[in-house]
Amino acid sequence: MRFENQTVFVTGGGSGIGRETALRCAREGATVVVADVDREGGEETVAAIEDLAGDADAVELDVTDADAVRDAVDAAADTHGLDVMVNNAGIAQSNDPLEEVSLEERDRIVDVNANGVWNGCRAAIPHLKAQGSGAIVNVASLAGVVGQPWSAAYAMTKGGVAKMTRSIAWELGRHGVRANAVCPGFTDTPMVQGGLEERDDPEAAREALERRYALKRLGDPEEIAAAICFLASDDASFVTGHELVVDGGFTCG
């Protein structure tokens, strides 16, 4: 029970990687605060945790609202304590070249994927520093490591998240707090499924994508959740400032 008597706050916990992270932490003893802009999705995650006899709260939260994020994290810390902050909430971009991406779309991607993670870290850090322990795990992307065509705005934000994580790891180490990033390859989540469905032939697009991976498949959300939970746990007690690529061998080729 790696998270027994600990509280884990997960943004974007209403579906995909966030939901599986919340479930896994709950199975390992955590009280989980499930935050998502989609209230219904967050409540479904909490119901699944309660079915496991776990303890969880749902919070409707827009991570681009810094004051709301601070208030939600403060409330969680006051009620349950705070040991782990998982900044997972994120959005994709349209499959367009840079010059065709509207400034409005770019700004929205930056606001959610970059500012949202900043807001989560900024809200959690004072609590973790005050107790002299804890972990932050930020969900970046393979796109932020190697780039990805027709995803310039997305790659920009995810690369920024990975490097910001390394920066705060230096700041927080002397306070006993660790910070790491997970960089998943394409994972079989609603976000990725939605992107594939926009293609002329979704099945062909999926098969072409799978061929680019050494394991010849996309990742499962549970597999990314396992990596997040490793970095959040004491199993990774000497790991900080790391960008853990979980990509099914994409970068082997």
For the chain, 253 residues long, give each residue's pLDDT as a single digit of tens: 899 999 999 999 999 999 999 999 999 999 999 999 999 999 999 999 999 999 999 999 999 999 999 999 999 999 999 999 999 999 999 889 999 999 999 999 999 999 999 999 999 999 999 999 999 999 999 999 998 888 999 999 999 999 999 999 999 999 999 999 999 999 988 877 777 777 778 888 788 888 989 999 999 999 999 999 999 999 999 999 999 999 999 998 7
Look at residue 190 in the predicted model and tell me its pLDDT. 80
Which residue intervals of the chain are DSSP H helices? Answer: 16-27, 39-51, 66-80, 103-109, 116-131, 143-146, 152-173, 190-197, 202-210, 221-232
206 is a domain residue: no
For residue 155, the one-letter residue type is A
The answer to whether the beta carbons of residues 244 and 184 sit under 8 Å apart is no
Residues annotated as catalytic (active site), given as ranges: 154
198 is a domain residue: no
253 is a domain residue: no
19 is a domain residue: yes
Q: Range of 86's domain?
A: 7-187+221-245
209 is a domain residue: no
80 is a domain residue: yes
Look at residue 193 in the predicted model and tell me its pLDDT. 76
57 is a domain residue: yes
Token pair 């900080």: residue: 240
203 is a domain residue: no
Look at residue 170 in the predicted model and tell me its pLDDT. 98
Look at residue 199 in the predicted model and tell me its pLDDT. 75
Please, how many CA atoms are within 13 Å of residue 199, restricted to the half-sphere of its CB?
14
Look at residue 183 in the predicted model and tell me its pLDDT. 98
**Nearest-angstrom CA–CA distance, 80 and 26:** 14
Task: Identify the CATH number of the domain in which residue 68 sits.
Answer: 3.40.50.720
Look at residue 147 in the predicted model and tell me its pLDDT. 85
In 3-state terms, what secondary structure has residue 34?
strand
Q: How many separate domains does the chain show?
A: 1
